[in-house]
Amino acid sequence: MTWFLVHFAEIVFYCLAAVALAGAVGVIAFRSPVHAALSLLGTFLAVAGVFVLMQAEFLAAVQVLVYAGGIMVLFLFVIMLVKARDIPDEPQYVHRLVPAAVVLGVLLAALVGVGIWAASSGPPADGAALRLVAGVPLGNTEAVGWSLYRDYLLPFEVVSIVLLVAMIGAIVMGRKETGRGGAA
């Protein structure tokens, strides 16, 4: 049991890496675009977990909010906009996954429980999440904010404009023409 507690972070890392790898393979392997997008969502969430392990909480939050939230909604919107082939109902597929979902849920609950127990019974944190910015120790999120909005403001704004242009282009290309003279 002591070995398990000492190597708990490594065990969680390898579990998250396996989930990310399985999700990446699923993106390529699934024939259904919706299933591939959900597999990509699992990959994004596993990468966010790895960020948490690396004490990069801000990046984990951005990973969940921007990629797992916004980008996935955009992907699903595009999948529905281009009218990918209709996905047939497969209730038998769901029934086959119920035992695996229960086992994985129990394992995840046990892993989280052991992690909480190990964190509460271990020594206090050493402040490794604090970073120095201009000689001042700041929290991880504040350090990223200072660096992003002070040092990299122009590239940040350029990327936002490029994404806006890409989104407008996708909407214009996906629109249906109703007649010869105009658009819907």
Task: State mean pLDDT over 50-75.
Answer: 85
Which residues are registered as beta bridge partners of 137?
132
CA–CA separation, 43 vs 19, rounded Å?
Answer: 7
Q: Where in the chain are the domains?
A: 1-87, 126-178
Q: Which residues of 106-130 are buried (b: 16+ CB within 10 A; e: fewer)?
A: eeeeeeeebeeeeeeeeeeeeeeeb
Residues 17-55 as b/e (b if ≥16 CB within 10 A, e otherwise) read eebbeebbebbeeeeebebbbbbbbbbbbbbbbbbeeee
pLDDT band at residue 121 using 50, 70 and 90 as cut-offs: confident
Residue 90: pLDDT band by 50, 70, 90 thresholds? low
Fold of 1-87: Four Helix Bundle (Hemerythrin (Met), subunit A) (1.20.120)
The CA radius of gyration of the chain, in Å to the nearest whole number, is 22
pLDDT digits (tens, 9 = 90+) for 148-173: 788 888 888 888 888 888 888 877 77
